[in-house]
Amino acid sequence: MHACPCARRDRASVSGFTFVEALVTIAILGIMASILIGAFSSVSTDASRTIARQQQAAIQSALNAWVNGDSNRMVGTSTKPKTIEEIRTAYNAALTSKARLALISGYLDADTFTHINDSTLNSGKIKSDALNIIKSYIMLPDWTTTDGYPKVQLKTD
């Protein structure tokens, strides 16, 4: 007896994917793509955190330099340098973080100061593009008499 030419061929001799194999392959590719997208998103956030910490450190260094620079300046026509108490009073007289940032602007590079100053809308919270991404801000709180130098704080919104 001969097989009818219209009969089904043996599955082993047919090449290609079945519908189920194609769906499984697409699902695996989708999972891999979602993992990859998550990894890239995480890298971007990590980079923004690093930039935010660098900005905090730059502002802290500028603040320290401002304190040290002012302690070596003479008051008016006096021959004695400003005291730490006089510098602390001037710092605390600037009532907002943005006003305190303006005090130390000469100790920050111009591009950094301009970017941060332009990004800061709320005078109590110093912002930048990186800080906006990680939903944080920099704050320059009052300088108390127990602290050696004023502290620059990185806070979360």
Residues 6+ apart with CB under 8 A from 18: none
* Cα 49 from chain centroid (whole Å): 4
Q: What pLDDT is attached to residue 59?
A: 95
Residue 12 located in a structural domain: no
Residue 11 located in a structural domain: no
Question: Is the model's pTM score more than 0.75?
Answer: no
Residue 68 located in a structural domain: yes
Q: What is the mean pLDDT of residues 121-144?
A: 91
Residue 4 located in a structural domain: no
Position 1 pLDDT exceeds 60: no
Q: What is the mean pLDDT of residues 41-48?
A: 81
Number of domains forming the structure of the chain: 1
Residue 108 located in a structural domain: yes
Residue 74 located in a structural domain: yes
Mean pLDDT of the chain: 85
Domain encompassing residue 96 = 18-156
Instruction: Please classify residue 81 by burial: count the beta carbons closer than 10 Å to its beta carbon, then call 0-12 exposed, 13-18 middle and 19+ buried.
Output: middle
Identify the three-state secondary structure at position 81. strand
Residue 13 located in a structural domain: no
Q: What pLDDT is attached to residue 66?
A: 92
The answer to whether 126 and 138 are in contact (CB under 8 A) is yes
